Amino acid sequence: MSYDLAGKRVWVAGHRGLVGSSLVRRLAAEDCILLTPDRTQLDLQSSAAVEQWIAEHKPQAIFLAAAKVGGILANNLQRADFLYQNLRIELNVIHAAFAHGVEKLLFLGSSCIYPRDATQPIAEEALLTGPLEQTNEPYALAKIAGVKLCECYRQQYGCDFISAMPTNLYGPNDNFHPKHAHVPAALMSRFHDAKIKGLPEVAVWGTGTPRREFLFVDDLADACVFLMKNYSGPIATNVGTGEDVTIRSFAEMIRSTTGYEGELVFDASYPDGTLRKVLDVSRLTKLGWKAKTDLRDGLARTYDWYCNNYERLRAV
C-alpha cells in the first residue's frame, strides 16, 4: 500500500522557499522526475494558469509547499494578504489536482493552526477545538482550509491527498529579514550584523519566556517524503521533534552559533504570541519516522549557509 515515487513526475510547488528547496534537495535521492516551474512560468494565484499548467505537464504527485509566510509581525500586519493569497494558492492547486487526476498530493499545514490554548504537547485531535492565536489567525484559517480541502476531496472523491503539520522550522533558504522573518532567521541575521558592527546589545522580541519547538527543514523534507510513500489517510500528521526550548535559551544558542559576545535585551513591546507550542509526534513515531538533526547542529548548518550567501541576501 506504499506509494512509489520512482519514475513519477513530481511537482514541488514553492520550490524556492524554505520547505520547497529542501524537498528538491531530498527528492534528488529518489528516482523521480522533478517539476519546478518558477514564478514567470506559473502564477499560483491564477486558477486558469494552474489548471493549464497541470493539464500540460501532468504531475503524478504534488508537494504543495507554496505559501505566503512570515513571522509574528508580518502575519499580524498583512492580515488580508495572508488569508487571501494562501487560500487562493490552496484552492487552485488542490482543485486542479483533483480535476486532473493527480495520484497523490501532500499539503503543508502548520502547527500555528492549532487552538491557542491547546493542551501541550499538541496532538492532531486538537484541530478546531478552540479559538486561534490572534496574531496569525488569518494564516491559520487559510491553512486549516487547505487541510480540510485535502480531507474533503478524499471523502467525496477518493483523492489520495494528505497533509503534514510541521512545527516551527529553520534552515537554508529561510527568509532572513530582521523584521518579517520567523525567530530563528530573524535572530541569526540580527546577531550576525551586531557581531560585524561591534554593537553592544541585541534586541530579542517579547519576554523570552514563550516556549517553541524547532525542526531543521531537511528533517521535515525527509518526513514529507516518508509520509508521501507510507501514509494515506485523513489525519494531518504532526512533524516535529517533540521537544521545546524557551525563546531566551534559543536566543542564547543563536548567540553562541554566531559568535556574538554582546548582551541580549528583551523588548516586551513586541508580542510573545502563543506561550507554548510543542507537537505531540507520537503518531509519526509509530508510523516509523523520527527527527535526526540536533538543534545546535541544525543552527550551525543554517549559519554556514547564511554566511556563504550573505552578500547575495543583502543585495535582494
Stretches 49-57, 81-89, 117-125, 198-206: which one binds ligand GDP (CB under 6 A)? 198-206
Choose among 165, 232, 141: nearest CA to 19: 165
The kind and range of the H/E element at 283 are helix 282-287
- 139 belongs to the catalytic site: yes
Whole-angstrom CA distances from 237 to 58, 101, 106, 227, 287 are: 27, 23, 11, 9, 10
Kindly report the backbone phi and psi dihedral angles of residue 99, in degrees, each rounded to the nearest multiple of 5, phi listed first.
Answer: -65, -30
Closest approach, Cβ 183 to ligand GDP, in A, equals 4
**Contact flag: residue 168 with ligand GDP (CB under 6 A):** yes
**Contact flag: residue 299 with ligand GDP (CB under 6 A):** no
**Contact flag: residue 167 with ligand GDP (CB under 6 A):** no
Residues 76-83: contacts with CB within 8 Å, 24+ apart?
Answer: 76/134, 76/135, 76/136, 76/271, 79/137, 79/138, 80/138, 82/136, 82/138, 82/139, 82/142, 83/138, 83/139, 83/141, 83/142
Closest approach, Cβ 243 to ligand GDP, in A, equals 15
Contact 102, 61 (CB under 8 A): yes
Instruction: State the burial class of residue 88 (Cβ atoms within 10 Å of its Cβ: 0-12, 13-18, 19+).
Output: middle
**Contact flag: residue 20 with ligand GDP (CB under 6 A):** no
Residue closer to ligand GDP (CB basis): 113 or 164:
113
Closest approach, Cβ 107 to ligand GDP, in A, equals 19
Cell of 134: 490572534
Contact 167, 241 (CB under 8 A): yes
Contact 179, 186 (CB under 8 A): yes
In eight-state DSSP terms, residue 295 is H
**Contact flag: residue 121 with ligand GDP (CB under 6 A):** no
**Contact flag: residue 164 with ligand GDP (CB under 6 A):** no
Stretches 2-10, 56-64, 267-275, 297-305: which one binds ligand GDP (CB under 6 A)? 267-275
Beta carbons within 8 Å of 189's beta carbon, 6+ residues apart: 176, 177, 178, 181, 306
Cell of 184: 530563528
Stretches 76-84, 157-165, 218-226, 266-274: which one binds ligand GDP (CB under 6 A)? 266-274
**Contact flag: residue 252 with ligand GDP (CB under 6 A):** no
Stretches 46-54, 82-90, 147-155, 264-272: which one binds ligand GDP (CB under 6 A)? 264-272
Stretches 30-38, 88-96, 202-210, 237-245: which one binds ligand GDP (CB under 6 A)? 202-210
**Contact flag: residue 113 with ligand GDP (CB under 6 A):** no
**Contact flag: residue 183 with ligand GDP (CB under 6 A):** yes
Kindly report the backbone phi and psi dihedral angles of residue 261, in degrees, each rounded to the nearest multiple of 5, phi listed first.
Answer: -115, 5
x/- string (CB under 6 A) for ligand GDP, residues 55-74? ----------------xx--
Q: Are strands 211-212 and 245-246 parallel, antiparallel or unpaired?
A: antiparallel
Closest approach, Cβ 130 to ligand GDP, in A, equals 17
Contact 187, 194 (CB under 8 A): no
203-242 residues near ligand GDP, rule: CB under 6 A: 204-206, 210, 212
Residue closer to ligand GDP (CB basis): 71 or 298:
71
Which one is catalytic: 114, 139, 153, 306? 139
* Contacting positions for ligand GDP (CB under 6 A): 71-72, 112, 136, 168, 181-183, 186-187, 204-206, 210, 212, 247, 270-274, 277
Catalytic residue numbers, as ranges: 139
